[in-house]
Structures are given as C-alpha cells and as structure tokens.
Structure 1
Amino acid sequence: MKKCYKSLITWFYMALCILALVGCSAKKEEQVAATSKEETDKTATLAFSWSPSGLDPHSGDSWEIMRSGAAETLIKLSEDLTPTPWLAKSWEQVDDTTWLFQLQENVTFHNGKAMDATSVMNSLQHAIDNNQGTKDLLKIKSMEVVSESELKIETKEINAALISNLADPGTTIVDVDSLDNKDGYPAFTGAYVIKQFNQDESLIVKRYEDYWGEKAKLDEVTIKFISDSNTRLMALQSGEVDGATDISVDNIEVLEKNDNFEVLTAQSLRTHLVMYNMESPLFKQLAVRKAVDSLIPRQEIVDSVMKGQGTAAVGPFSPVLPFGQLSETKEDLSVDQLMQQDGWTKNTDGMWEKDGKVFEATFLTFPQRPELTVMAEVIQSKLLEHGMKVNIRQVENIDETLVNEEWDLAMYSMLTAHTGSPYFFLEVFYKSDSLSNMNHFASQTVDALINELHQTTDTEKSTELAIQIQGEIGKKVPHSYIVYPNTVFAVNKELRGFEALPIEYYYNNANIDKE
C-alpha cells in the first residue's frame, strides 16, 4: 500500500513539472511573439502646431481632426482643387437646387456600424445645427434618403459651390450617436481610428483594419501638438518627431544643411493679413486704415521675414487662382494728409495726437505661425517712424481673443480658398451677419453681391463677380493683405508620403510610410 502511495506522489510531482515546463514555454512564446510584433509595427510621430479642443468635428475643430487621417467628407479636393469622389461615389444635379448623391458602399464607421444614407444625412444635419459657418456654406433646405446608398439634397437657393463646399472639414461624416459616448471617441470612417486623445498634448491614431479604401501603411501615428516653432524644430532635430508642419522660414537653411532632413515647400492658398477692428475708436475712420495700409512694407516683409518664401499680396486670394487676378492700387494721399483728414495732428514729439490723446494701438499676434509676430514687429517699427505707437500682444488663441476682448489691430492668417472657390472666405469674413466677421465689416452692396455670387453657376461670370466684390471690399480697407506664404514642412528622410500641399487638411494619410 505504501509503495502504491509513493508511486502516486511521484507521478503527481512529475505531472506538475511537465505542466510548469509547458506553461513556461507558452509564456516564452507569447513574449517572443509580442517582441516580434513590436519590432514589425511601423509607427511615426508628427508635430502639428494646432491642437483641437475636442473631437466633435462640427464644433469648430474640424480641420485638426481631418488632419489626423481619421475623418472623411463626401467630397475630396485634388491638388488642383478639383472636387473628386470620396465618401460620395458620384453625384448628379437634378435641377437648380436639387442634387442626388450615390454613396460608397461597404463603408463602416470605426465602431463597426455601416455608413448609409441615413447616417450621412444625420451627420450633415448635426453639422448644420452646430456650426453656423457650415450652415451658411451648404444652404440646405431638406434632405431625403432615397435608398441605403442614395441621398437627395435640396438647397434653399442656387448654391453653385455646393459640391466643393462638401469638401470642407466642417462637413465631416461621423456616426452622430458616437459623439455622446463619454467612454469612447467619435466614430469616423477614415484610414485611421482614434486610439487616444490628450488635449493640448497629443492625438494617437492607429490603422483601421476594416477601412473601405487603401489601408494605411503605418500601424500607428502619434501627432504631438507643439505650438512653438522652435520647439517643433528641436523635436525634429532630436528625433522625437519624424515630421513637422509650419516650419519657420528662419530654420530652412539650418535643416537643409543636415543630410538627415528634407524641407518640403508648396505654394499655398493662404494669405497673411492685418485685421482692423472697425469698432475701435482708432480705426473707425477709413482715412486711418488707409494710412496704416500704405505704410506696410510688403515686399520688404517677403524678402526679409519670409526669406523669399512667398509673394507680396494685393488682395485676399493668391494670383494662382483665376479670381485672384487683381491689380495693385496706390493711395493718392500721403500719410500726413490721411491722418489730418481724420483730425489728427503731430505733437512736439512727432507723434499723432487727437483730443489730447496720443495714437496708441493694441496689436495682436499668436505663436502658432511665428512669422506673423516678426511681421508685426516690422509693421510696428514702420508705424512708429511715422508717429503711430502700437503695442504688440501675443495671445495663445487668436479667435477667442478677437471675439471676447478689446483690440485694435491683429495679425491673422487664412486659407482663403480652401474649397477651391471664393465663396467661403467672402461669405464668412465679409457678410454683415456672419459670426466670423470678427472685425465688424458691413456693406449692403457687398452683401448683395455675395448673394448673387452664390447663385451664379457660370464660371466666367462668377470669377468676374468675385473680383468685383473684392474691389468693393478694398474701398473700405477692412484688412491689409500682406503676403501669400509658401507652406513649409520638414521631415526626417526616413518618412515618406508626408507632403506640403496647397490644401492644408490632408496631412496624415494612408500613403505615409517609414523606412
């Protein structure tokens, strides 16, 4: 009996040892597999200058979300600004105000739900309800689901730019129900799905394996939000990031001397400008705005500040666009004549004075585009030479400050033809009732012409009309257009497919790869 008992114990211990060996082997195999996966995963890190405040694409942060590669719209713009199919496979204009869209099939949101005509309609309605700019762009009267893959849209009036305007990131298609999910992230349709968002710090996206189009080459991309240009440069040089946007022109030469980096430039559709607060006591009068505008040394700024990476501006739109073909106009009166016209006189210190107060203005700028602050300093110096004092104040969020605080002048930068047409910029900046008309410009003539432009389908006529509108706006000088800058990016040469393009919201995309 004892012998049998000992035998059982021996077999028991032998079984335990075998199980332990099998467990160790399995664990080792798992570790090897995990290590192997880490070695084969392709990842990249990018540095962007702007951080979204949230991930709802219809709340004003649509551009940053689109740039992540997670979001898509019905229409996409090519490099030459031609509207091309994206989530909409095709479209047909039924009559002046009615359009029928055929949607891509077999598209799913990142939560696995199918994208169909109903979900697209709900997304567009959410965009309209939550963003006045999108509502103004689309001018939608009604939408009707014709079938699972067909959506009919009727506009309130002829909207000649509807198709190109559906490429605006504010029309991003999202599963609306996912926006209320406090434990997760919004479900988009792009090549990347959001993995983690740390406000003001980073956004991590990973490849969406069930993507309907060409799958992303990278497994994961980390986007770091670095508002300071020098910090972005140092992050690139140290290897912390593989690519960076909005590189200061002062840093181009440094990077070009290093064989590890490549500088990428493109002629953009952006305009750097000075905005005048037309409700400011200093700039209510046209004569003062004309005086300041005439003193801005545009070509000097292109040569010295932009290092030649740009063109002196004469209007809101780049001359590469057909509606940007404006002639430069010269002011007939001198600065002294203009200032005296508004009751200003020079005091013994050579400064302009009125009603016992010296001319002194607040000039806003912001860090995300460092060249703007340098431009402000050049303008500040030029104005001081002619008896006008301006105090530069740098703010982190320029749009919030323009709306909520007092200011006189502000540097600003705008992609003025981001849908390939003049409608958007003219509508949001110059229509009297636009919420984005931050310098309080108002003209009944301009309002009427913009309304006419929206209903003009003939391309040649719409170009002529857009030029006429710019002429009317120019008479009032609500802005001083300074330069059409080039877009400047920089990458480690191991990064492929990250390009500087005229359109500024397809930054991260499925074609980006890393050697």
Structure 2
Amino acid sequence: MTKTGYFASFAALMGATWLLAGCFDDSDPAAAAVQNDRIRVAMLQPPRSGLTPLSDDAFKLSRWSTAETLVTLNSVGEAQPALALSWQQLTPTRWQVILRQGVKFHDGQMLNAAAVVNALTAANSAAPKPRILDGVKWQMATEGEYTLSITTQQPDPLLPQRLSSPQLAILSPLAYGSGHGVDPVNHGSGPYVLTHVDGTSSATLERFADYWGEKASASGIDVSFVPDGTARAAALRSGKADIVEAIPVAQAPLLDPERVHEVPMPRTNTLYLNTRTGITQDPAIRAAIRSAINRQQIVDNVYEKRADIAQGLLGPALPWAAQLRTPPTNRIQPAAISGQQITLATFSDRTELPEVAVYLAQQLTAAGFSVKQVVREYSQIESDALAGKFDAFILSRATVLDSGDPLAYLYSDFACDGSFNIAQLCQPAIDAALKQAAVIPAGHERRVAIMQVEKMILATDAAIPMLHERVIQGESQRVIAAIRDPRERSLIDSNTRIQAE
C-alpha cells in the first residue's frame, strides 16, 4: 500500500470510529457502570418496514430474542418445540398444534390458541404476504384454550418447518389492528423486551423478568444500525460494540483474529449456463466451461480465502449435504474450443461479483473462448437474465429459504416452470424428481431425494457451483456465547452475556 493510500485508509478508519462513538456512548462513568453487562450490537441493515414481523425485519426480532415462533429448527432443519409443544398431522391437509402453557407476552397478555390464530391470520391476510406463505392457502381455528388446527388447501409436509419462519412470529394480540401495521414494541414473548426503536438508528431491549424459559443473562441489548462496513469494523476494534454483523472481507485482516469468526452461509456463488439458446445449449460447450473454471483462484483472490470451494449446489451450511452427495457420472466430454464467443454477465450490487467475472473471463479466455462481459445493476439486468439473453450469468444465490429446506430453491431455479430459471433448464426427469421429493416429509428420506435432484442438475452443467460464501461475525473479548447461525435467525439468546471484568 502506498503512503497516501495508508493515510487515506487510516483517516477513513478514524472517521468511522468517531461515527460509532455517538452510537455507543460510554463517556458518562455512571452510565457506563449501569451498562457494563449490556450487549452492544452493530448491525448491517436498518429496519426497512418498521420492524414488522411480516417483513424481512422479522429476522432482527428473532436475532434479538424478542419475538418467538411456534417451532424452531435444529442444524439439519428438523422442527423443534418452541411456543408449540407438539404438532400432529391428522390428515394430509389438517394439522393439530398443542401450545406451551404459562407463556406471558411482554405486555402482560397470555399466550393461547386465540392469540396464535390471530397472529397467523394477520400473516395470511397481509399484503404482501410473508415470503414463507407464497402460494400457501390455509385456515386456522381454535380447538381449545391451548389447541388449534391448521388446514391447508394442498398437502404440506413442511408445515412445521414453515411455522419456524421469523415472519410467522407470534406477538400479543395488542400488536395487531392499530391501523399502522404490526407493532413489535413491548409485544413479543422472548427473553428480551423491545422497549424502544429510534427510526433507522438504534433499538433498545431489556431483560424480561417473566420469561417462560431460561432468563436472559444480560440486563439488556443496545443495537445500532451501521450500514458502513468500515464503521462496523471500527466499532469492534475500538471496543464500542460487542457483536458486529457482516464485517467486510477487506476489513477482517485489520482486526484481531481472535475476534473474527467466519460462519458458512447457505449461499452459493454459481455460474448459470443458458441451456436453450446460444453456444451453451451444447452440453459439450458447457462441459468445456466447467473444465476451465479455477475455483481456488477465485476464492483466494476475490474472497481472500474466506469462502469454501463448492462441491455441489448445497454447501457446508447444510451439514448433511456433503454426507449424502454422490458425484454425477457419465458426464459429457468437453468440446474443443477455438475462439467461440461467450457473453458473461453479472450485476454490480454485490461488490465481489464483477471481480469474479474478471477472473472467470480470464480463465475462459485461457481455455480458448472469446469473452464479452456485461455488468449492470441488478434491477437493470434481472429481466434479461431470466429471459435467457446471456450465455452465462454469475449469481450469488441463497439456497435455503425460510422453511430451512432447499427444495424450493431447486424448483425455482431448475424446474421447467421455475420462476427463477436463468439456465432455461427443462428436463422431465428433473421435474419428476423434484415433485417426488416435495411430497416426502422432512427427514432423512427427503434429504436423500434432494441430493438426488442436485446430482441430476449437476450432470447437465446448467449450473456450475463455484464457491459457498461465509459471513464474518465480529465478537469482542467481553462477550460470551454469541450465536453463529448460518441461517442468520439467531444471534443473542438467554445464555449470551458479558463477562465480568
């Protein structure tokens, strides 16, 4: 780094530190003593929808342990009791749910079947609906004080997993019907009470003394929303924050390695190849592209070794995938390449993707292709990508949606009528395998079927997985038991605390 560059970076870092000082002000000794066991968090994105649980803001409420769902998911995506103690499928379309008793909402109301039906009805009738309910039609009814039924229009073997979505959090009845959306302030049921939200700047939570489960170890949580990555890293370095979301790759080497934790994400950087038009409709050309890709070079140079080389579409955030994966067999041999032109496209909104495109272009050129690159903002390129106007498209794609199950992603991207089928892939055998997997209940058999679908897709070379991304989480030396969750649903729970000094 040049001297000028060094001082410019230093100035930016110092500016970020001063920026954070206003967010985490401990200049008052008395206030500092009171706040000594409070957890200070610097988060990436501010609320977009007033922290309503019917939006993506729901994941913030979940990560702060203030709003709770009927069920949670374990590491392999199996449903576990939370506000619901048990559930039973009575018929292919009717489920019965038994609730936990003695749960008090933060405003003093008690959890019962009527409160749950009220919350789920609000989600079902919202416009737009929570993402987890796309294409889902159901009806809820109380069957007793702590028992309710859910009837679906079509059989839904993933209904328990669906109920784990933070967008289906159960709030007190007083949170709904105000005419101003759903208000989560003082209306959750978790170990922390959301007491105050300062627009898109900060949020304050306090320990809930009447929590039904293990009481929170910390007295409260102080959240600041800090979109600037340099500022978030500076907050960790200066001791202004105890937990920091999404530290940029470029900032991680500047921090104490013991304070930096990499968490595999269910997100795969994939090269989609057009199977319907252009030169990539030839399977041998697609095989040649697969053979030309040097994944290690991209991981080392673009992601600074903070990513995992992909062996398939589903990565280490799904720990069962590698155990059940078998590689495709009898693959097409690569074609000889001698100057064939390929159009390689991606978008600029994710800063690493244009750089990935540069390395891919170099690799393909070395293999004999003539490469034309197209890079635009996502909003300006999505329609062309979905219409199949490019030979190849680089996409960072979430492989697990809100149910914790990857089948929805596989269907969306690779079924004949998939809504996000950039590869334009349409093979009846893959569609049949997708439909077969969809009716299998959650568990080992369903996971085996999902991996068979992955194997079939990989054999087509319609999608070439390159790497699996990680999120970098920062934790100060004061914090104990912060949660490192690949699904980004959990961050702080009752056991997360600040160690005594």
With the length of structure 2 as denominator, give the TM-score of the two structures. 0.75
Residue 449 of structure 1 is matched in structure 2 by: 433
Aligned-pair identity in percent equals 22
Q: CA deviation at 1:493?
A: 0.4
- Equivalent residue in structure 1 for 2:165, among 155, 165, 168: 168
Structure 1 154/308 Cα, relative in aligned 2: closer, same or farther at 3 Å?
Answer: same
- Equivalent residue in structure 2 for 1:301, among 292, 298, 303: 298
Query: Contact between 2:286 and 2:334, CA under 8 Å: does it hold in 1?
Result: no
Alignment size in residue pairs: 453
- Please say if 1:462 is aligned against 2:446: yes
- Equivalent residue in structure 2 for 1:363, among 327, 346, 354: 346
- For 1:310-459, list aligned pairs within 5 A: 310-318=307-315, 320-322=319-321, 325-327=325-327, 332-334=333-335, 336=337, 352=341, 361-367=344-350, 372=353, 374-383=355-364, 385=366, 386-393=369-376, 409-416=393-400, 419-430=403-414, 445-457=429-441, 459=443
- Please say if 1:62 is aligned against 2:58: yes
Q: CA deviation at 1:455?
A: 1.5
Residue 183 of structure 2 is matched in structure 1 by: 185
Deviations 1:66-108 (A, max 9, x none): 2232221111123454422111122233344432211122323
Greater helix share, structure number: 1
1:336 partner amino acid:
I
Residue 205 of structure 2 is matched in structure 1 by: 205
Query: Contact between 1:315 and 1:326, CA under 8 Å: does it hold in 2?
Result: no
Query: Contact between 1:206 and 1:219, CA under 8 Å: does it hold in 2?
Result: yes
- Equivalent residue in structure 1 for 2:133, among 114, 132, 135: 135
- The structure with the largest alpha-carbon Rg is 1
Q: CA deviation at 1:380?
A: 4.2
Residue 9 of structure 2 is matched in structure 1 by: none
CA distance in 1, matches of 2:252, 2:384: 35
- Please say if 1:144 is aligned against 2:141: yes
Deviations 1:32-86 (A, max 9, x none): xx99676324323222333441122223443344223222111112345442211
Q: Name the SS for the 2:259 alignment partner.
A: strand
Structure 1 436/202 Cα, relative in aligned 2: closer, same or farther at 3 Å?
Answer: farther
Q: CA deviation at 1:494?
A: 0.5
- Please say if 1:505 is aligned against 2:501: no
Q: Name the SS for the 1:336 alignment partner.
A: coil
Query: Contact between 2:114 and 2:145, CA under 8 Å: does it hold in 1?
Result: yes
Q: CA deviation at 1:310?
A: 4.0
For the aligned residues, what is the CA RMSD?
3.8
Query: Contact between 2:204 and 2:221, CA under 8 Å: does it hold in 1?
Result: yes
1:318 partner amino acid:
G
Q: Which runs of 5+ in 2 are unaligned?
A: 1-27
Structure 1 105/459 Cα, relative in aligned 2: closer, same or farther at 3 Å?
Answer: closer
Residue 215 of structure 1 is matched in structure 2 by: 215
With the length of structure 1 as denominator, give the TM-score of the two structures. 0.74
- Please say if 1:271 is aligned against 2:267: yes
Q: CA deviation at 1:364?
A: 0.9
Q: Which runs of 5+ in 1 are unaligned?
A: 1-33, 338-344, 347-351, 353-358
Structure 1 404/153 Cα, relative in aligned 2: closer, same or farther at 3 Å?
Answer: same
Deviations 1:290-339 (A, max 9, x none): 665544321323344445444321322126314751416765223727xx
Deviations 1:320-375 (A, max 9, x none): 314751416765223727xxxxxxx65xxxxx3xxxxxx555421435xx655653
Q: Name the SS for the 2:398 alignment partner.
A: strand
